[in-house]
Amino acid sequence: MTDTIKLYPAKPAKVYFYGTCLVDLFYPDAGMAGVQLLEREGIDVLFPQDQTCCGQPAFSSGFNDQARDVVVPQLDLFPGDWPIVVPAGSCGGMMRKHYPELFAGTPWQAKAEALASRVFELTDFLLNVCHIRLEDRGEPVRVAMHTSCSARREMGVGDVGPALLAQLQQVEVVEQARATECCGFGGTFAVRHPEVSEAMVADKTTAIEEAGADTFLATDCGCMMNIAGYAEKQQRPLNGQHIASFLWQRVGGDA
């Protein structure tokens, strides 16, 4: 399948919202903020209740059969020809980039490719499809931006978070020394290689702190959980927030 992630559609009347496991289980505020930002733009948001995991943990561990078992029941959950918006570059990357590979040569290939072609990362969709305009209603704050590896390299949206934040007059985005480096999470990577993962998140945490940020923003809840969790374990005062929750607060939404 030819990747058309940069061929953006006109703003649709409806979208599907794919919540992700981490949003569902740990950070529902990020999911709700994403939905509210889309509704703010006049879009009707559809949330299929039977959606589960995107299959990435099994796929990235080499268990393709198990990944397909997870994904197949969900291929029919998004029947309308509407975009599928995902508040995580990792899940978005799995769905858009890897579903065609995962289902190549199977009876589900056509469905998987059709679904993959409609997947967009949330911030990319807000900026480049909705053409969102943000009026900052918050107090002055300094933030650092962490864009996940998948969002940056698989979905190609490394510049989108900073572009959205640039619309907020009271928000100063400080540059961290390791802005493009992995936080060390990588899903099952952190489980299989804990020592390497910890060294990576230690470097990332230090870089964010040394940049002088009041908080850091992430496009993926996995990265946010990893960095904020490490800082908390080390008793270091570093706050993390999904960028959707931050944007919703800045425009006057609920905390």
151 near 92, Cβ under 8 Å? yes
CA 71-127-45 angle, 5° bins? 50
Chain centroid to CA 172:
22
Kindly give the parts of the chain with pLDDT less than 50.
1-5, 255
Rounded CA gap, 210 and 215, in Å? 12
Residue 154 per-residue DSSP state: I
pLDDT score recorded for residue 254: 61
Domains present along the chain, CATH in parentheses: 14-128 (3.40.50), 141-250 (3.40.50)
3-state secondary structure of 207: helix
- If one counts every other C-beta atom within 10 angstroms of the C-beta of residue 214, the result is 15
